Amino acid sequence: MRQVLGWLALAGLVVGLASAGCGKGDSGGEASSTGSSAQGGTDKKLVVGFSQIGAESAWRTANTESIKSEAEKRGIELKFADAQQKQENQIKAIRSFIAQKVDVIAFAPVVEEGWEPVLKEAKEAGIPVFVSDRRPAVPEDLYVTFIGSDFVKEGQMAAEWLAKKMDGKAVIAELTGTPGSAPANDRKKGFEEVLANHPDMKVVFSQTGNFTRAEGKQVMEALLKSDVGKTINALYAHNDDMALGAIQAIEEAGKKPGVDIIIVSIDGVKGAFDAMIAGTLNCTVECNPLLGPYLFDAIEKFKKGETLPKRIVIEDKFFDQTMAAQELPNRKY
């Protein structure tokens, strides 16, 4: 019996070392194996700590669900922390993952700045970091890869669609995302780049709605009561949730969203498709939140010793009212 156990332990150690791959500083061979298979093997389960931003939007809910379900499908142990929009909570979560000696840390940075110290701590502990969804402003050697959409391109696509729809003439209100976040910065930038070629398209109002439906509604309500608000004929919202909130406010103010005010937003969630079919939203630029498969593919490849590109871009396209009904059955989020 003793000998059998000995052989099993040795087999487990070999598997453990093989799956530890590069980048892990601590010694293998510890007895903290979390998963032993039903067949009696001692495969060490990969432990991934994921720091999520919060639950501000339908996009985020779909993103969380994708990460959780994909980890489960692959038999990966996921330690999931919801930061409720606070960077300090994310930093705490990352520090706690380091203390727990997880195999991999993944996170979606709520804002761009302020990550360098904690990512250096992870690096010193020998724990590889994977960036999901939003880009942090840190040197590239502090993470393995960044997986997510090109937000500048999304902003450009929104502006190009609007320019075409409105023949290059529009008085635009902009609802921006979380201040300091990569998608808010980049979606604004991409939109403005295209507007620079259209002198008769002007953003006359820009305010944050923090990517939430409730704030999108509030900001639009206040805007419609103001003098500037009475002049707008287009709305650019950095996500669908804010657009959907704004649509409610526009209706309550006695105007026709999608007609009196042409609306383009970003994400491509189901609610946006419903609104396009109802005629209240005009266009949505897709931003794929189903990052779970991409993230865990990258982590598993890295663990096998493969070199990954620093940037893995998810391709997005846009959908407008003419495409909405046909596309709705294909939507997964």
Q: Which stretch binds ligand GYE (CB under 6 A): 33-41, 57-65, 112-120, 298-306?
A: 57-65
Interface with ligand GYE by CB under 6 A: which range of 54-62, 66-74, 75-83, 112-120?
A: 54-62
Q: What does the block give as tokens for 281?
A: 């939203």
Q: Which is nearer to ligand GYE, 37 or 206 (CB)?
A: 206
- The whole-angstrom separation of Cα 250 and Cα 35 is 54
| Long-range contacts of the stretch 61-66 (C-beta < 8 A, 24+) | 62/269, 62/289, 62/290, 62/332, 62/333, 63/108, 63/133, 63/289, 63/290, 63/291, 66/289, 66/290, 66/291, 66/292, 66/293, 66/333
Site for ligand GYE in 136-195 (CB under 6 A): 183
Q: Which two tokens stand for residue 49?
A: 């700590």
Q: Return the number of the residue (59 or 296) whose C-beta is nearest ligand GYE.
A: 59
User: Does residue 216 belong to the site contacting ligand GYE (CB under 6 A)?
Assistant: no
DSSP summary character for residue 202: E
Cα separation, 196 vs 236, whole angstroms: 16
Q: How far is the CB of 216 from ligand GYE (least distance, A)?
A: 11
CB 98 within 8 A of CB 25: no
Residue 57 interacting with ligand GYE (CB under 6 A): yes
Of 103 and 112, CB closest to ligand GYE: 112
Instruction: List the one residue from 112, 133, 215, 316 that touches ligand GYE (CB under 6 A).
Output: 133
239 near ligand GYE (CB under 6 A): yes
Least Å distance, CB 249 to ligand GYE, is 18
Position 134 contacts ligand GYE (CB under 6 A):
yes
Closest CA to 141 of 154, 129, 132, 153: 129
Question: Which of 202, 260, 245, 254 is CA-nearest to residue 225?
Answer: 254
Among 24, 44, 60, 135, binds ligand GYE (CB under 6 A): 60
Binding site for ligand GYE (CB under 6 A): 56-57, 59-60, 133-134, 183, 211, 239, 241, 266-267, 287
